[in-house]
Copies of this chain bind each other. A is one copy, B any other.
């Protein structure tokens, strides 16, 4: 079973720039994470953008929607910053209803993978698994759980995704 992974940035891929002392994006860590997880699913990774999800515009979302629509694979994973993950999920759900035949799972991380104690590897294993078995639809995989796109919100006080 082949899964297409679209990378958009987010905390997942943030790094520490030692010359400026600030957080920044370079290349995605997805291939390294898949190697570490000894993942043997057939995946193809494509980086669409490398941005903080607070900087994501309608144009960015339109591009993500377009890429998901055009992907040959019926099962898709989108890595995304957690702050606006729900908004992007909604944009995807509106453009690609279940009848479109695509299972799209969005995931992210609260701590950058490049830091020692990230939740990213756990979330990646979780999201890839949900993406393999769930019926067409748009989902968020965070905190070991899977939510339908219109039944979830991020609690900004706790950083936890909650059903609603």
Contact = CB atoms under 8 A, between A and B. Distances in A.
A114 B116 CA distance: 7
B36 A143 contact: no
A127 B122 CA distance: 10
Given A116-B114, A129-B129, A160 B124 contact: no
A143 B40 contact: yes
Number of copies: 4
Interface string A22-65: 11000000000110111111000000000010000000000000
Given A16-B112, A18-B110, A21-B83, A38 B129 contact: no
A27 to B, nearest CB: 15
Interface residues of A, number: 50
B41 A145 contact: yes
A161 B124 CA distance: 19
Contacts of A122: 33, 36-39, 121-122, 124-125
B146 A38 contact: no
Contacts of A116: 114-116
Interface of A: 11, 16, 18-19, 21-23, 33-34, 36-41, 52, 83, 110-112, 114-119, 121-130, 132-134, 141-146, 156-157, 159-161
> Can you list the 3 inter-chain pairs with the closest CB atoms, starting with the nearest?
A37-B122, A125-B125, A125-B126
Given A16-B111, A127-B129, 15 more contacts: A11-B21, A16-B23, A19-B157, A22-B23, A23-B23, A36-B119, A37-B143, A38-B119, A38-B122, A40-B145, A115-B116, A122-B124, A124-B125, A125-B127, A129-B130
